[in-house]
């Protein structure tokens, strides 16, 4: 029997199209929720809810409908549609940071029934070319360190690994005991600031600052900063741990956020700051007893024992990958 040749799909005939933010958000939210269900935390859930809310928000949709350049939208990207059903997605978020134009590729997801056909790779490639046409300087993405399939796709497409960062989580505990080991915990003193700032910059590199939007100046000592925080009701608490001889070992800062959990920012002396960091983390867990869950992000493989001994458990490790334009 003669076989009927099936025409191969060329790049032009692939069922890939730009995301239509006016129509596609509910289907994309469903796809992302299903594909990331095993790893979705509170923040991920609230992100998906925001997407669904936006899809019903007339004011947002009216505004989005008038935007001419898709790079000005809060999210753009590409979808793969088979018989009217969205089965693949790659989102693009454009950003600016310190004179650089950046693009973040996120939510790369293929429906389980359609995997290993090149959909994830093709959508990521399309997102990369869109970003390149917009003359951006760098393209970033992050992926869990145990997601070998995705890491392989991104590496093949030219992304290189730049940072591995672990997010830890703990509950506040006002009854937590604390052993001092000859260390003292106080509020940071103005003389601690140069070291605190240097260690913060080391643990939280500026190349990722565009994502977390950390601004260390807010933590600096001084009357103006205090007054500023007082008037905008921005709550910050800080701890500094010193040895008996006055040497600074670690600092920790807590800032009130609107997120599902409260973030702590740690800075420890490289090498022997671990006892100090543990002590500061325990102090924070005790003092913030009435607050929500606490999260801490730190370079993976650094200070792990200190952080876990203070009662924090690792939630995930993300690999940050970058491709140049």
Ligand X SMILES: CC(C)(COP(=O)(O)OP(=O)(O)OC[C@H]1O[C@@H](n2cnc3c(N)ncnc32)[C@H](O)[C@@H]1OP(=O)(O)O)[C@@H](O)C(=O)NCCC(=O)NCCS
List contacts with ligand X (CB under 6 A).
35-36, 108-110, 115-121, 143, 147, 149-150, 152-153
Q: Which is nearer to ligand X, 111 or 285 (CB)?
A: 111
> Least Å distance between CB 42 and ligand X?
18
Instruction: Evaluate whether 97 touches 27 at the Cβ level (below 8 Å).
Output: no
Residue 296: CB minimum distance to ligand X, A:
22
Measure Cα distances from 279 to 239, 252, 267, 306 in Å.
Answer: 10, 10, 12, 9
Residue with the closest Cβ to ligand X?
Answer: 120
Angle subtended by helix axes 119-133 and 148-156, to nearest 10: 40
Distance CA 99, CA 101 (A): 7
Query: How far apart are CB 158 and ligand X at their closest, in Å?
Result: 15
Nearer to ligand X, 116 or 290 (CB): 116
In which order are the strands placed within the sheet that holds 16-18? 16-18, 76-82, 85-97, 100-110, 138-144, 313-324, 160-170, 294-299, 262-268, 248-255, 236-242, 184-186
- Pick between residue 31 and residue 294 the one whose CB is nearest to ligand X: 31
Instruction: Measure the CA–CA gap between 302 and 278, rounded to whole angstroms.
Output: 13
Nearest approach, Cβ of residue 34 and ligand X (Å):
9
Supply the minimum distance, in Å, between the C-beta of residue 163 and ligand X: 15
Cα 165 from Cα 167, distance rounded (Å): 7
Residue 29: CA count within 13 A, CB half-sphere: 18
Distance CA 283, CA 277 (A): 10
* Closer Cβ to ligand X, 78 or 265, answer by number: 78
Q: From the CB of 122, what's the least distance to ligand X, in Å?
A: 7
Name which of 34 and 67 has its Cβ closer to ligand X: 34
Q: Which is nearer to ligand X, 152 or 259 (CB)?
A: 152
Which contiguous run of DSSP H or E holds residue 138?
Answer: strand 138-144
Task: Find the shortest distance in angstroms from Cβ 149 to ligand X.
Answer: 4
Angle (CA) 145-150-152 rounded to 5° is 95
Q: Which is nearer to ligand X, 57 or 145 (CB)?
A: 145
**Three-state SS for 225?**
helix
């Amino acid at each position: 029997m003669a076989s009927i040749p099936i025409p191969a799909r060329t790049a032009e005939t692939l069922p890939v199209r730009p995301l239509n933010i006016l129509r596609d958000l509910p289907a994309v939210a469903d796809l992302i929720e299903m594909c990331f269900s095993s790893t979705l935390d509170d923040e991920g859930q609230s992100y998906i809810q925001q997407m669904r809310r936006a899809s019903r928000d007339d004011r947002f949709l009216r505004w989005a409908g008038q935007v001419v350049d898709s790079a000005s939208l809060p999210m753009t990207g590409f979808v793969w549609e088979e018989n009217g059903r969205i089965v693949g997605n790659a989102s693009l978020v454009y950003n600016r940071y310190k004179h650089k134009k950046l693009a973040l590729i996120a939510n790369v997801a293929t429906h389980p029934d359609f995997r290993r056909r090149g959909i994830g790779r093709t959508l990521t490639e399309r997102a990369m070319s869109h970003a390149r046409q917009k003359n951006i300087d760098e393209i970033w993405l992050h992926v869990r360190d145990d997601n070998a399939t995705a890491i392989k796709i991104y590496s093949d497409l030219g992304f290189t690994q730049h940072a591995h960062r672990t997010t830890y989580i703990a509950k506040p505990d006002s009854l937590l005991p604390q052993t001092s080991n000859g260390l003292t915990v106080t509020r940071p003193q103005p003389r601690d600031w140069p070291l605190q700032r240097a260690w913060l910059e080391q643990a939280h590199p500026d190349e990722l600052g565009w994502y977390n939007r950390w601004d260390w100046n807010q933590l600096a000592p001084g009357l103006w900063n205090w007054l500023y925080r007082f008037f905008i009701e921005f709550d910050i608490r800080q701890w500094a741990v010193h040895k008996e001889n006055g040497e600074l070992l670690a600092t920790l800062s807590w800032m009130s956020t609107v997120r599902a959990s409260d973030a702590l920012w740690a800075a420890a002396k490289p090498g022997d700051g671990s006892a100090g960091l543990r002590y500061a983390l325990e102090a924070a867990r005790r003092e913030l007893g009435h607050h929500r869950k606490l999260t801490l992000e730190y370079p993976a493989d650094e200070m792990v024992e200190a952080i876990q001994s203070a009662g924090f458990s690792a939630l995930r490790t993300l690999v940050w990958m970058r491709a140049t334009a």
